[in-house]
């Protein structure tokens, strides 16, 4: 069996087909699928004895990737300021250098509203609307 047929056989078992208006998303999913298939082939070639099925390998791979991101976020969360710092620390509003970069406001997003802003709190780079979210964020 040639390499292309082998790849199609493994990747075709659990297809991930979603329509997208962004041209790069299908490309991204194809690259992820290619990496997953290559990792599975390497796993099968290097492991002796009981080998995981393709489905179980994918499940473990995705679980480990999610755990790695969760651990990285929890490690960086310890450096985040406490609510007390938020209330009594020095507060300065800054504007993002790139005028096209407008992330969602933290306060509006928590309230379920979609509001984009070009301002942020300097200490945490938390995107905040100047009025009224900046005041709300620092008083509640």
Q: Where are the domains of the chain?
A: 3-77, 83-139
pLDDT at 90 exceeding the cut of 70: no
CB 119 within 8 A of CB 130: yes
How does residue 29 score in pLDDT terms, banded at 50, 70 and 90? confident
For the ranges 65-69, 83-87, 122-126, the lowest mean pLDDT is seen at 83-87
Residue 54: both structure tokens together: 């393709």
Q: pLDDT averaged over the chain? A: 78
Distance of CA 102 to the CA centre of its chain: 18
Q: By C-alpha distance, which of 24, 58, 56 is closest to 38?
A: 58
pLDDT at 76 exceeding the cut of 70: no
Higher pLDDT, 82 or 92: 92
CB 113 within 8 A of CB 139: no
How does residue 66 score in pLDDT terms, banded at 50, 70 and 90? confident
How does residue 46 score in pLDDT terms, banded at 50, 70 and 90? very high
The model's pTM is: 0.47
């Amino acid at each position: 069996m040639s390499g292309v047929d082998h790849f199609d056989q493994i990747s075709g078992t659990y297809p991930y087909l979603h329509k997208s208006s962004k041209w790069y998303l299908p490309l991204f999913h194809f690259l992820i699928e290619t990496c997953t298939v290559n990792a599975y082939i390497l796993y099968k070639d290097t492991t002796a004895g009981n080998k995981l099925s393709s489905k179980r390998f994918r499940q473990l791979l995705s679980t480990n990737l999610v755990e790695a991101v969760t651990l990285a976020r929890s490690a960086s969360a310890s450096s985040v300021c406490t609510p007390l710092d938020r209330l009594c620390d020095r507060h300065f509003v800054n504007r993002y250098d790139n005028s096209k970069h407008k992330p969602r406001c933290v306060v509006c997003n928590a309230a379920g509203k979609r509001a984009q802003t070009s301002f942020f709190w300097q200490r945490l780079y938390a995107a905040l609307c100047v009025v009224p979210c900046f005041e709300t964020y620092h008083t509640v």
